Amino acid sequence: MYNKDYKGDVCSHKHSFFLDNVFRRVIQNPKKIVGEYIKDGDTVIDLGCGPGYFSIDMAKMVGETGRVISVDLQPEMLEKVEKKAEKQNLFRRITLHSCPQERIGLPLDVAADFVLVFYMLHETPHPDIFLQEVKTFLKKDGKCLIVEPLFHVSKKQFQKLTQDVKNIGFTILGRPSKKGGRSLLVSLGG
């Protein structure tokens, strides 16, 4: 299940079927999970995009003038996103960004309206350092949705994460339910 090429429990690209299939579409509909945060023309970042389950739908939501930056450390995951984007004629709206495990490293001019961090934060070696970096490219009026899986992240671990998020300087806008796990909606606003 895990990719031994990386530190910690990084979900392997070999199991990406579990992340994009018809069953998931029934229980975790992307429109219901992120639709309310995304509008036409937005710049959206899908951090730890995996095989692109959310990236592809979000590319539809941002329209022709928007863009989605799909970020992952496994090149094999990004290849899957690329294939799907080409098949659905969405490749002009999607930029693939391959990153090392310790750093996101997006270009300095990126300013995001919405950042999705779905089922990936617990896979990063230092979630607090990772979130510090998110702060540098989230717009002041932008939003970031963090969702962690119930089966990998305990209530106690999520409480610690929530405290880290506050310490880093994010404002917690809510803990939206029905997003598929333990969730936080945050911004940089006061």
Give the contacts of 171 (CB within 8 A, at least 6 positions apart): 186, 187, 188, 189, 190
The interface with ligand SAM within residues 103-132 (CB under 6 A) comprises 118-120, 123-124
77 binds ligand SAM (CB under 6 A): yes
- Decide whether 8 or 189 has the Cβ nearer to ligand SAM: 8
Distance from the Cα of residue 5 to its chain's centroid: 21
50 binds ligand SAM (CB under 6 A): yes
181 binds ligand SAM (CB under 6 A): no
Residue carrying structure tokens 């029934």 = 26
53 binds ligand SAM (CB under 6 A): yes
Residue 141 burial by Cβ neighbours in a 10 Å radius (0-12, 13-18, 19+): exposed
81 binds ligand SAM (CB under 6 A): no
**Residue from 69, 74, 112, 131 binding ligand SAM (CB under 6 A):** 74
DSSP 84: H
Minimum distance between the CB of residue 142 and ligand SAM, rounded to whole angstroms? 18
Rounded distance between C-alpha atoms, residue 67 and residue 175, angstroms: 26
48 binds ligand SAM (CB under 6 A): yes
HSE-CB at 168 with a 13 A cutoff on CA atoms is 22
Give SS3 for 41: coil
Count of residues binding ligand SAM (CB under 6 A)? 20
Please report, as ranges, the residues that interact with ligand SAM according to CB under 6 A. Answer: 10-11, 19, 48-50, 53-54, 71-74, 77, 99, 101, 118-120, 123-124
